Chain A
């Protein structure tokens, strides 16, 4: 018996939507096996990981709190990836947004006003956008590969953040902890539902989904971005300004990641600390792919990713399993997705070589369309 891939004439749309679901199921199965191997009851552990965190209203609201920064980063990344700009730097852009947002917030410790919070949010977004502007500048002027430059900038951003909380932004009355002072109320995002941590940042995230959706599907610039990403040579042939488009994508993406960062420090965290992000910017990469680079798909994918974070914490508390499970599941999920995506362009045939005369192909997946 032999398994063979056979090209479909045209990519299957259906499979491209099903593939993330299949990847999710495979991740669950792999998770169950892993839990069993760790000596836990697979079903109970899966329940603790994936159901228990969202079994009450508070849990659901926490899901939204975790999903918001991932969603903001991932919608921005989707714009970049549609243009074939491999921005891996959402993490660094988020950290820079948080850092400069905090710096702005801390300069308003004594000044109160309705305009202060918008200024702080703007400062964070701008910092994220400018941080993403560095790879844009390097790519458009010096042809520098953006994957490597954005990764390096992530490490630099993290070190800048560490430097700041240990140095200039450290709370002078904070017993030498590497933390800033707590932000006052007027630079804290309002809570929308009492008894939860649902904050304004979640609204920003949902808005970004809507805006990016319209931008990509209805505007000519959005169309140009997709042409550039699909086929740069065609874009040049048509006369689209590739450099401007690259700039635009990175600025949008960086701005949204920066907004995510400043929303975290002015929202659920309330001050600048070294551990602002448990890798939201990297998780957003997976979310962008899992959501098929479509804002609505990304919305669902970000909820799943948020659940992975909550579940990881839950099994740590309840069952004493390591928090690193979250990272492991993230990696597995992306692998399974990439593997399942082969079915978009190919169908699997199992060829039995038993009968001498006949190569009888057995169709595993239906030929769609």
Chain B
């Protein structure tokens, strides 16, 4: 296998891992506040379709991304409203969000199936980009890739060093205590859910505007669910989300790697790899229950009723 292929594989790994990274970061923040939103897939699909439509009509990728994030936020607000204001079960509501998002995105995207967009041009970082091998692998990406890494650093800093981050963690551990000392559990959780929605929308738009650039029904293909597994895999730690996202990215492009060896396996069987990998990773991680308990936000997924 030659060096260019390796550089291309690394390039593709990062590119494939990026939407996972973005949506997983959003879900991580959401889960840190104690909210389990299983609707990532639905929010991503809405982001993908709305982003595509907006970009298609405005000829602006930026407008596409902004609209996608707004779509993600709107979806997340539905989830927030029924789980927090109407006390509905988080798991069922997340599923509903995914089913709803799948249906709605298919509905509004119907007229756009098969239409194409120009993708986003890569930004080759001056100097670094021209280094052989490293330049191709790491410094010739589109802006969203760099942005997603920057978001990682931001979220890491947020939880490590800011009072707001401390508040999110506190609410995720014990909403009852947080309320008792006068923190507004609902507003904190709404913010976290909306952040998750925005990130899912952005990840969806990355798929429909940058990665493939086109819209197809169900084009997220379970990435929203894989991102949920990724958060568990990362034990709710930002740096491990970054690592995990790229690992999953690698699992998704095994076909590319196999091409290098001239191996031919049914594309359908190869397509199962990321899902199989997800299950294996979940098994490896969750079998140590004590460790999961140690890192998981204590109130994750549990209902919280405001007393009046």
B interface residue count range (under 10 / 10 to 19 / 20 to 34 / 35 or more): 35 or more
From 197 to 222 in chain B, residues with beta carbon under 8 angstroms from any chain A beta carbon are 217, 221-222
Q: Contact between B82 and A338 (Cβ–Cβ < 8 Å)? A: yes
Q: Which residues of A contact B269 (CB under 8 A)?
A: 159-160, 163
Given contacts A322-B107, A328-B103, A334-B99, are A152 and B275 in contact (CB under 8 A)?
yes
Report whether B110 and A166 are in contact in the complex, using a CB–CB cutoff of 8 Å: no
Tell which of A9-17, A105-113, A341-349 binds the partner. A341-349
Contacts of A327 in B (CB 8 A): 99, 102-104, 106-107
Asked if A156 and B93 sit within 8 Å, CB to CB, the answer is: no
Inter-subunit contact A142/B86 (CB<8 Å): no
Report B243 CB to chain A, min CB distance, Å. Answer: 19
Does residue B287 face the partner (Cβ distance < 8 Å to A)? yes
A145 located at the interface, meaning its Cβ lies under 8 Å from any Cβ of chain B in the complex: yes
- Binding-face segment, A119-127, A186-194, A197-205, A281-289: A281-289
From the candidates B87, B91, B104, name the one contacting A345 in the complex (CB within 8 A).
Answer: B87
A331, B286: Cβ atoms under 8 Å? no
Which bracket fits the contact residues of A?
A: 35 or more
The interface bits of chain A over 314-336 (1 if a CB of B lies within 8 angstroms of the residue's CB, else 0) are 00000000101111111110110
Would you call B276 and A156 a contact (CB within 8 A)? yes
B229 interfacial contact with A, CB 8 Å: yes
Which residues in window 141-160 of A have CB below 8 A to B?
141-145, 147-149, 151-153, 155-156, 159-160
Residues of B within 8 A of A156 (CB): 272, 275-276
A155 touches B282 (CB 8 A): no
Q: Which residue of A lies closest to B221 (CB)?
A: A155
A162 to B269, CA, bound (A): 9
Within 8 Å of chain B (Cβ to Cβ): is A172?
no
Residue B101 CB within 8 A of the other chain? yes
User: Which B residues are in CB contact (< 8 Å) with A324?
Assistant: 103, 106-107, 110, 217
In the assembled complex, B92 has its CB within 8 A of some CB on chain A: yes
Contact A330 B87 (CB under 8 A): no
Q: What is the chain B residue whose CB lies nearest that of A335? A: B96
Contact indicator A138/B283 (Cβ below 8 Å): yes
Cβ contact within 8 Å between A144 and B286 = yes
- Asked if A144 and B283 sit within 8 Å, CB to CB, the answer is yes
- Closest A residue to B38 by beta carbon equals A147
- B38 and A331 within 8 A (CB): no
Question: Is A167 at the interface (CB under 8 A from chain B)?
Answer: yes
**A86 beta carbon closer than 8 Å to chain B:** yes
Asked if A33 is an interface residue, CB under 8 A from chain B, the answer is: no
Q: Which of B110, B279, B286 contacts A322 (CB 8 A)?
A: B110
Q: Taking the complex as formed, is B95 at the interface, i.e. its CB lies under 8 A from any CB of chain A?
A: yes
The docked-state distance in angstroms from the alpha carbon of A142 to that of B279 is 11
A221 at the B interface (CB under 8 A): no
Q: How many angstroms from the CA of A149 to the CA of B217 in the assembled complex? A: 23
CB within 8 Å: A-B pair count: 138
Q: How far is the CB of A111 from chain B (nearest CB, A)?
A: 29
Q: Are A334 and B96 in contact (CB under 8 A)?
A: yes
With beta carbons under 8 angstroms apart, the residue of A141, A153, A166, A338 that contacts B96 is A338
Q: In angstroms, how far is the closest chain A Cβ from the Cβ of B108? A: 8
B86 contacts A339, C-beta separation under 8 Å: yes
Residue B271 at the A interface, CB < 8 A?
A: yes
- Write the chain B residue with the least CB distance to A38: B107
Minimum CB–CB distance for B81 against chain A, Å: 8
Q: Are the CB atoms of B88 and A331 closer together than 8 Å?
A: no
Report the minimal beta-carbon distance from B242 to chain A, rounded to whole angstroms: 20
Of B107, B272, B289, the residue contacting A155 (CB under 8 A) is: B272
Q: Are A328 and B272 in contact (CB under 8 A)?
A: no
Q: From B78, B86, B225, give the contact of A152 (CB < 8 A).
A: B225
Contact A143 B110 (CB under 8 A): no
At the interface, yes or no: B187 with Cβ under 8 Å from chain A? no
B100 within 8 A of A: yes
Task: Please give, as numbers and ranges, the residues of chain B lying within 8 Å of A329 by CB-CB distance.
Answer: 103
B68 within 8 A of A: no
A7 to B306, CA, bound (A): 11
Closest-by-CB residue of B relative to A6 is B308
Q: Does A73 reach chain B (CB closer than 8 Å)?
A: no
Do B95 and A285 touch (CB < 8 A)? yes
The answer to whether the Cβ of B247 comes within 8 Å of any Cβ in the partner chain is no
Residues of B within 8 A of A145 (CB): 232, 282, 286
> Which of B96, B103, B276, B283 has the most A CB atoms < 10 Å from its CB?
B96
A-B contact pairs, 18 of them (CB 8 A): A5-B87, A138-B282, A142-B287, A143-B287, A152-B276, A152-B279, A153-B279, A166-B268, A324-B107, A327-B107, A328-B106, A329-B103, A331-B42, A331-B96, A332-B103, A334-B92, A338-B96, A342-B86
Known pairs A152-B222, A153-B275, A338-B82 / 13 extra A-B pairs, C-beta < 8 Å: A138-B279, A142-B287, A144-B279, A148-B278, A152-B276, A159-B272, A167-B266, A289-B92, A322-B107, A325-B107, A327-B102, A334-B95, A335-B100
